[in-house]
Structure 1
Amino acid sequence: MQLDNRAQTLLKALVERYIADGQPVGSRALSKISGLELSPATIRNVMADLEEMGFVASPHTSAGRVPTPRGYRVFVDTLLTIDSVDAIGSLDEAALETKLQSRSQISSPQKIISNAAQVLSSLSQFAGVVMTPKRESIFKQIEFLRLSEKRILLVIVGPGGDVQNRLLLTEVDYTPSQLVQAANYINQHYGGLGFDEVRLRLQNELRQLRDDMTSLMQAAVEAGSDAMADDSDNVVISGERNLLSVADLSSNMTSLRKLFDMFEQKTSLMQLLDVSSKATGVQIFIGGESQLVPMDDMSIVTAPYEVNGKIVGTLGVIGPTRMAYERVIPIVDITAKLLSSALSGNNS
């Protein structure tokens, strides 16, 4: 539904004023801040039209109006003007890059990603979130460490040097030399492959080994595959406590429960970030409009990031729908670009 210039100007002025002070905006205030030479009566008529179209709503306690999720959508898609320099303020890109790298040339990817979440949180004063790159199932090598009788620690080293541990409970008490033999066999024949491929090849290629060794290797492959598929730590969140001071999100216990359920479970967050990783550029998810956002008063601004030209994850800021989008959008956009650069340089 198209809005004429007058309606667009008034809607923009209303959203900006509401974001600034959180109070319903009346016709008299709009006549002063819109820059339009319109009478309050004319403005009331336009507001009535906007309300009928679903862009604004009237709280029962006030004659003023507030934006709806649909009104926010029109605002961020067509009415918002952004000055990236003003949005970032005194922090230039070089300073942000230093924060990501922690002044260290040997920062691990995990540390850089954690720093990115903290940068998003500190700049926005909301919660910063980063979905980490999905872990490949490929392993570089494995080791078996005998912990006690029939308890073995499986150590999996990925191509990038990241380490995963899994506990194996076996029916046989393997000797240290047997464990070394099994690990050497797997590393020599299968190192650099994915666990799924190894599982298929094990069925045909281990017949020359004793059954109990075959059983150990099959258990290692199953545990390794599960370890690589585990996405419980695939979302890094920083600054959740900032949202406790946002009245729109923490005004009642139901909202608080939804908020912290989202942080604890991470399922809906993962789903949303996964969706945004398939898009290009900054995406804005507005509560009440997107089923992916669990709360009506919440918005999430996201952007994908890359490693060596390939999109591998998403980052963003979680805050109230009443956030300063003209400030948050450039923060997310620039941080995504700097994280891409830092990880690509780190990976080279």
Structure 2
Amino acid sequence: MQSPSIIELNDRARDIFRQIVESYLASGTPVGSRTLSKLGGLGLSPASIRNVMQDLEEMGLLASPHTSAGRLPTDIGLRLFVDGMMQTGEPAPEEQAAIEEQLRGRGLPMEDVLSRTTSVLAGLSACAAIVMVPKAEAVLRQLSFVPLAPDRALAVLVGGDGSVENRVIDLPPGLPPAALVQASNYINARLSGLTLGQAAERLRHEISAERAELDTLARDVIERGLAIWSSDGAQRPVLIVRGQAHLLDEQGTTDLERLRSLLADLDGKEDLVRVLDLARSSQAMKIFIGSENKLFSLSGSSVIAAPYRDAGDRVVGVIGVIGPTRLNYARVVPMVDYTAKALSRLIG
């Protein structure tokens, strides 16, 4: 169904729709015509309100659950409300202060700052909060090869920060043990102190200029060793999730199957990264409501995510929240936006 636009609603339908959505977001329960008539401001009888509610339901903006005569907004209705009717402001001063407090630890590792900021965002929004930043490309200090079998070796990389990672690589046929030693010596003498991308580029340059004193087999080993980390590092962003317990508090025990589905979605890190990548690639805040995103369609959840930038205005990560579709969007959207901008100021 094509989403209707706000201009398709007359003033009466717009007022009734807005009150239904705001009441539902505040209470989490379907809203009936009698309830609306008692709220005041509409000046309409319950029968007149029911007629308009029926029209809104036929447009796909409202739905009527089996257990109630009231109506609640559909995902399409929530999208219309968020895009065309919702008014947002700045986070409350105490919310801004709580966020800024977590960003004052300039001596802390960036991952610790991100973890603390994500935790406070989860607490303020009563949602699960998540932050993603692409894994920084490792700086090469040392790379050595340990033979495991005639066709395999263990590549041991020591990063500039002292981290150690191991990977098993396949070896070219007929490789003599001396070639592994030659490869290690060349890397540690010529490529130490470079990022993996820089090391691969220097290797290609020296080979093309015939300055690399390597035979073909040793060169092949080096290229394999560098390539496995270059691709691996790019595909493993740092992903921090905090506040999953808020989801249990919010949904209670009334829909355990939906809650299990949501928690499973949060554990599917690769799928979650793809969702957040949409905000990073568009370089703007993204709001996904319920079935709009396949990952969260079964759990009926919403995602609000905003990118944050470095001093060069390049997007370096994404921060956001995940919660039920019944979010206080007018409050949470500015909160996520403020947090993303605060991180950008810190990094800049």
**Contact persistence 2:182–2:214 (CA under 8 A):** no
Name the structure 1 match of 2:190: 185
**Kept after mapping to 1: 8 A contact 2:132/2:239:** yes
Q: Which runs of 5+ in 2 are unaligned?
A: none
Post-superposition CA distance 1:29-53 (Å, at most 9, x none): 1112251111111111111111111
In the alignment, which of 323, 330, 335 is matched to residue 326 of structure 1? 330
Q: Supply the AA of the counterpart residue of 1:107.
A: L
Q: Which runs of 5+ in 1 are unaligned?
A: none
The answer to whether the 8 A contact 1:164-1:227 is kept is no
Tell me the equivalent position of 1:165: 165
**Residue 229 of structure 2 is aligned to residue 228 of structure 1:** no
TM-score by length of 2: 0.82
User: C-alpha displacement at 1:281, in angstroms?
Assistant: 4.2
1:260-299 residue pairs with structure 2 within 5 A?
260-291=263-294, 293-295=296-298, 297-299=300-302
The answer on whether the counterparts of 1:132 and 1:314 sit within 8 Å (CA) in structure 2 is yes
Q: Following the alignment from structure 1 to structure 2, what is the Cα–Cα distance between the partners of residues 38 and 162?
A: 71
Residue 47, structure 1, aligned to residue 53, structure 2: yes
1:75, CA displacement in angstroms? Answer: 1.3
Q: Kindly state the Cα deviation for residue 225 of structure 1 after the two structures are TM-superposed.
A: 1.7
**2:250 paired residue number:** 246
Matches within 5 A, 1:191-210: 193-194=197-198, 197-198=201-202, 200-201=204-205, 204=208, 205=210, 208-210=213-215
Q: How far apart are 1:180 and its partner, in Å? A: 5.0
Aligned to 1:315: 319
Point out the more displaced range, 4-13 or 263-272. 263-272
1:195 deviation in Å?
5.3
**8 Å contact kept, 1:268–1:293:** no
Q: Deviations over 1:252-304 (max 9, x none)?
A: 33x23432332222233222211122335432110123445333521111111
The amino acid that maps onto 1:141 is: L
Is the 1:24–1:62 Cα contact (8 Å) retained in structure 2?
Answer: yes
Please tell me the residue identity of whatever aligns with 1:155.
V
1:15 paired to 2:15:
no
TM-score for both structures, normalised by structure 1:
0.82
CA contact (8 A) 1:126 1:318 kept: yes
**Aligned partners of 1:32, 1:122: CA distance in 2, in Å?**
34
Q: Does the 8 Å contact 2:183/2:219 carry over to 1?
A: no
Structure 1 residue 10 displacement after superposition: 1.1
Say whether residues 1:219 and 2:220 are aligned partners.
Answer: no
Task: Determine helix, strand or coil for the equivalent of 1:91.
Answer: helix
Check conservation: 1:300, 1:319, Cα contact below 8 A: yes
SS at match of 2:305: strand
Cα distance change on mapping 1:313 and 1:250 into 2, 3 Å:
farther
Q: Which piece of structure 1 moves more, 8-17 or 291-300?
A: 291-300
Amino acid at match of 2:324: P
Q: Is the aligned partner of 1:62 residue 2:61? A: no
Aligned length: 331
Aligned to 2:129: 128
Aligned counterparts of 2:195 and 2:300: Cα–Cα separation in 1: 49
Equivalent AA in structure 1 for residue 337 of structure 2: D
